[in-house]
């Protein structure tokens, strides 16, 4: 397992979270009236889901010989295999459904739902990054 592969994605996720934080002070009305805001938030959430799923899939394959089929599965398997807590994995698995709908536009995008996802993403993804980093650090201690 090459930690740098994961580290690159973690750095990107931190950038995405920093950009998303800029929307904390935006009201629902401002958000709904600004198509650029909608596009940016949708894309940032999509990128957070994709990046975290990529991290999960890489670590699961490299360390546990597990290949998740979907974003949802990647989070559930991450919880089962100790990459994150099962609780956080379950919450992120739910959010992965939104990321999937945004990517593939299976249905009309509910802009209010996306807006409500901002604070959720800003609380869950930093916790995800901490748990993944702690997991990677624990591997290094075992290898030392």
Decide if pLDDT at 20 tops 70. Answer: yes
- pLDDT for residue 100: 54
* Fold adopted by 3-143: 1.20.120
Q: Where are the alpha helices (DSSP H) in the chain?
A: 3-21, 28-33, 35-64, 71-80, 86-104, 111-143
Q: pLDDT class for 99, splitting at 50, 70, 90?
A: low
What's the average model confidence in pLDDT over 59-75? 96
Higher pLDDT pick, 23 / 109: 23
What's the average model confidence in pLDDT over 25-38? 98
- pLDDT for residue 101: 56
In the chain, domain spans:
3-143
């Amino acid at each position: 397992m090459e930690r740098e592969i994961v580290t690159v994605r973690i750095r990107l996720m931190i950038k995405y979270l920093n950009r998303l934080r800029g929307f904390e002070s935006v009201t629902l009305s401002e958000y709904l009236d600004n198509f650029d805001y909608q596009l940016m938030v949708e894309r940032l959430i999509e990128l957070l889901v994709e990046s975290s799923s990529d991290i999960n899939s890489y670590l699961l394959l490299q360390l546990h010989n597990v290949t998740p089929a979907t974003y949802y599965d990647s989070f559930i398997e991450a919880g089962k295999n100790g990459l994150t807590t099962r609780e956080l994995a379950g919450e992120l698995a739910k959010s992965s459904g939104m990321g999937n709908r945004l990517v593939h536009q299976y249905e009309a995008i509910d802009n209010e739902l996306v807006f409500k996802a901002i604070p959720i993403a800003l609380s869950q993804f930093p916790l995800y990054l901490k748990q993944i980093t702690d997991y990677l650090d624990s591997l290094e201690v075992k290898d030392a």
